[in-house]
Amino acid sequence: MTKGSEIDLFADRLDAYGPDLARWPADLAEDAAALLARSAEARARQSDARRFARLLASAAEAPAPNGFAFRVVGEIAARREDRWFRLFGSPGRFGLASAGLCAAAVVIGVSLGLAASPTSPSYDPGDAIDVAFNDVDL
């Protein structure tokens, strides 16, 4: 295995298991210890991973202000209610959106129905009725 691929594999394992070799599987920890003994780049990557782990740990310990979660959830709920009210509840800016969409759907449906109806001069709706109800062959 080349040195670059060894370092890349070590970096992937650092991401997976963390910088503390005691938390690694035993066989992988032995290989990592051997690589750390002979590679300055591997030691630098482990040092970076340790600093990053400390940074994450310190960020997780920072307390949130009192009631912060309730304020966030309340703001999300208020925005959601406001959005639905603007779209469907008010006759203002977007309040008639649902009525407009329904009207447009009806107009399009009627237009397509009229456009798709048979318009040939030999078409007689009576023939269709005879075939459907009187069992007549055309």
Residues 96 and 77 in one domain: yes
136 in a structural domain: no
51 in a structural domain: yes
Give the pLDDT of residue 136.
60
Reported as a single tens digit per residue, the pLDDT across 65-81 is: 788 888 888 887 777 76
* Alpha-carbon gap, residue 106 to 78, rounded angstroms: 34
Residues 73 and 126 in one domain: yes
> At which residue do the structure tokens 């009229």 appear?
114
Task: Look over the chain and give the mean of its residue pLDDT values, rounded to a whole number.
Answer: 78
- Determine the residue type at 2: T
**Secondary structure (3-state) at 90:** coil
Per DSSP, the chain holds a count of helices (H) and strands (E) of 6, 0
Reported as a single tens digit per residue, the pLDDT across 10-57 is: 999 999 999 999 999 999 999 999 999 999 999 999 999 999 998 888
Out of 3-12, 14-23, 82-91, the most confident range is: 14-23
Tally of structural domains, the chain: 2
DSSP codes of every residue in 11-38: HHHHHHH-S-GGGS-HHHHHHHHHHHHH
Task: Work out whether the CA dihedral 86, 89, 93, 94 comes out positive or negative.
Answer: positive
Which of residues 61, 76, 101 is at a domain's end? Answer: 61
